[in-house]
Structure formats: structure tokens, C-alpha cells
Amino acid sequence: MSEPTDAPAHAGAPTIQPGQPGPDHRGSRRVIVGTVTSSTMDKTATVTVIRRVRDRRFHKFLTRRVKYHVHDEHNTAKVGDVVEIVESRPMSKTKRWRLLSTISRPAEVDAHMRAHTEQPHAEK
């Protein structure tokens, strides 16, 4: 038999100190990159993910597009942003993804759009 000790039963389990990264108990979550196509909804953005897959029969590359509704807590996503999204629990009927981070913003597209809107149109 083992000798009785004064240590509690959970003493063998590793303790996580505050401020130290601990194991993620939520399991592995898919992280994918896509482009924001709509952000008009409150706390929700639509992200389009484009994948290129090879056809099994003809070996031709096909473009597959999938739209995801993404939870954007602080309404930071703008149309054209390249963002990283991660799987999460169902937040509504169609939302199962969360906005993880913004990778890039389309600065040159914004400047280009402003230049075109400031020019007066020629009348015919």
C-alpha cells in the first residue's frame, strides 16, 4: 500500500500561474483567412474564403468560394480587409466563427475610391 501524505489529491496536477500561457482546453479550432465582403450588420461581418482545389477526374484547378458569418464584437472589420477567423460555438442560426485578427487593410483601395469620388463627372 502507498504511504499516506499530507498533500491534497490534486497536488500532482500541474498548476498554471497567472500570466503564463496554459493549455487550451477548448480543443483544436480551425483558423482560416478570408476577405470581408460585408460589415453592415451589428457585431457581424461576412467573410468570403476562396480556395483552389484540384478536380479529381480532370485535374483542373477550380475556385471554391464560401461565405461565413463572423462574430465581430467591436465592429472593427471593414469591407476589403483580409482577416483571420477561428471556429467557435454557435452564436446564432448562421454564426459559427469569430474574428481573430485583421491581417491587412486595403489602404490603396480607399485612396483610389476617394480620388474617383472627388472628380466631377463631365456632362454630355
Note the pLDDT tens digit of each residue in 75-92.
999 999 999 999 999 999
Residue 45: predicted pLDDT: 95
Q: State the pLDDT confidence band at 1, using cuts at 50, 70 and 90.
A: low
Residue 27: predicted pLDDT: 73
**Exposed (0-12), middle (13-18) or buried (19+): which is 43, by Cβ within 10 Å?**
middle
Kindly state the average pLDDT of the residues 35-52.
95
Specify the fold of 28-118.
OB fold (Dihydrolipoamide Acetyltransferase, E2P) (2.40.50)
Q: Average pLDDT, whole number, for the chain?
A: 81
Residue 76: CA atoms inside 13 Å, Cβ hemisphere, count? Answer: 14
pTM: 0.64
